[in-house]
């Protein structure tokens, strides 16, 4: 989003205190995310991006009409795009909390009921990425086993339905052609840009960045180097004081 919307002001919040979300219940996720949405209201955000598949699947419906700002959930937004692809069978790798809701299946088939969707949870994948264990033999074997199970369904494409999973593409593409996999991020970012244009909400004179976390600021700054170079450690936010 930063690359295609360089003039927007970005406020990023990373919930390191409560992550990972993938094994949590819907009730836990609602309680956890309540303060986050209030924080973005406090920051006077015009739009909030739910980059997390797990929260998009579990809590979007709870908050979608609660705030004045636009909320963009990754699954519901990308389903509109993916459903238009020339597909008969679609695989989805996601967290247990996402798969348990069947949100990918429901949203894809809302627009194209002819696409058969196979959702599969991948315990351990997030930890592989967060611990930078992509080159370990055990990590490669775990990813391979999950992939082999999915390929029994003979999917035309496979969605990497968690923000961490695209960082496993080097492993996945050892066994299946890289073009088989869909990283929703680029589709999602372009969808948001187009929608902001329609609403006449694009900024043409910004570019400010603010980074916040709920814990472990230095750990986040180190981990973030996989995708972005932070100039300073993010600020740790205690919602009780906001």
Q: Which residues contact 91 (CB under 8 A, 6 or more apart)?
A: 117, 118, 120, 150, 153, 155, 157, 158, 159
Model confidence pLDDT, tens digit, residues 41-70: 999 999 999 999 999 999 999 999 999 999
Residue 62 DSSP label: H
Query: Among residues 145, 161, 183, which one ends one of the domains?
Result: 183
Q: Is residue 5 part of a domain?
A: no
Model confidence pLDDT, tens digit, residues 78-129: 999 999 999 999 999 999 999 999 999 999 999 999 999 999 999 999 999 9
Q: State yes or no: is 162 an active-site residue.
A: yes
pLDDT number for residue 231: 77
Q: Determine what percent of the chain falls in helix, strand and coil, rounding each to the nearest 5.
A: 45, 15, 40
- From the candidates 29, 32, 49, 52, give the one annotated as an active-site residue: 52
pLDDT number for residue 167: 94
The stretch 204-212 carries a mean pLDDT of: 92
Query: Residue 21 to residues 52, 73, 171, 184: CA-CA distances in angstroms?
Result: 9, 15, 23, 19
Q: State yes or no: is 52 an active-site residue.
A: yes
Residues 105, 110, 115, CA angle at the centre, nearest 5°?
55
Q: Is residue 60 part of a domain?
A: yes
Structure token pair of residue 217: 């600021």
Identify whether residues 145 and 96 lie together within a single domain.
yes
- From the candidates 29, 36, 162, 192, give the one annotated as an active-site residue: 162
Query: Among residues 183, 213, 231, which one ends one of the domains?
Result: 183
CATH number for the domain spanning 160: value is 3.40.50.1860
Using an 8 Å Cβ cutoff, are 157 and 90 in contact?
yes
Q: Is residue 211 part of a domain?
A: yes
Using an 8 Å Cβ cutoff, are 86 and 192 in contact?
no
**Which residue range(s) make up the domain with 47?**
10-75+187-241
Distance of CA 102 to the CA centre of its chain: 16
Cα–Cα distance for residue pair 35/53, rounded to 1 Å: 18
Model confidence pLDDT, tens digit, residues 145-200: 999 999 999 999 999 999 999 999 999 999 999 999 999 998 999 999 999 999 99
Q: Is residue 1 part of a domain?
A: no
pLDDT over threshold 60, residue 241 = no
* Number of domains within the chain: 2
pLDDT band at 225 (very low <50, low <70, confident <90, very high): confident
Identify whether residues 227 and 153 lie together within a single domain.
no
pLDDT number for residue 226: 81
pTM of the model: 0.91
Q: Is residue 42 part of a domain?
A: yes
Cis-peptide into 96, omega within 30 deg: no
70-74, 147-151, 203-207: least confidently modelled range: 203-207
Residue matched to tokens 């999917």: 155
Query: Among residues 183, 205, 232, which one ends one of the domains?
Result: 183
pLDDT over threshold 70, residue 240 = no
Identify whether residues 38 and 57 lie together within a single domain.
yes
């Amino acid at each position: 989003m930063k690359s295609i919307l360089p003039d927007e002001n970005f406020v990023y919040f990373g919930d390191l205190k409560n992550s990972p979300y993938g094994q949590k219940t819907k009730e836990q996720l609602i309680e956890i995310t309540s303060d986050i949405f209030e924080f973005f209201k406090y920051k006077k955000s015009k739009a909030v991006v739910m980059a997390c598949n797990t929260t998009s699947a579990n809590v979007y419906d709870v908050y979608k009409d609660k705030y004045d700002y636009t909320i963009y959930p990754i699954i519901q937004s990308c389903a509109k795009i993916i459903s238009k692809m020339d597909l008969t069978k679609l695989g989805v790798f996601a967290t247990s909390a996402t798969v348990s809701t069947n949100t990918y299946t429901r949203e894809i088939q809302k627009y194209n009921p002819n696409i058969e969707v196979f959702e599969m949870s991948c315990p351990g994948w997030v930890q592989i990425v967060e611990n930078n264990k992509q080159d370990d033999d055990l990590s490669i074997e775990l990813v391979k086993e999950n992939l082999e199970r999915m390929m029994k369904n003979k999917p035309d494409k496979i969605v990497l339905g968690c923000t961490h999973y695209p960082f496993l593409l080097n492993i996945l593409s050892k066994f299946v052609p890289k073009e088989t996999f869909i990283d929703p991020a680029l589709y999602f970012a372009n969808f948001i840009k187009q929608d902001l244009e329609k609403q006449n909400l694009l900024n043409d004179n910004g570019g400010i960045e603010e980074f916040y976390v709920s814990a472990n600021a230095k750990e986040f700054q180190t981990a973030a180097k996989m995708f972005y170079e932070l100039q300073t450690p993010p600020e740790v936010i205690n919602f009780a004081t906001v």
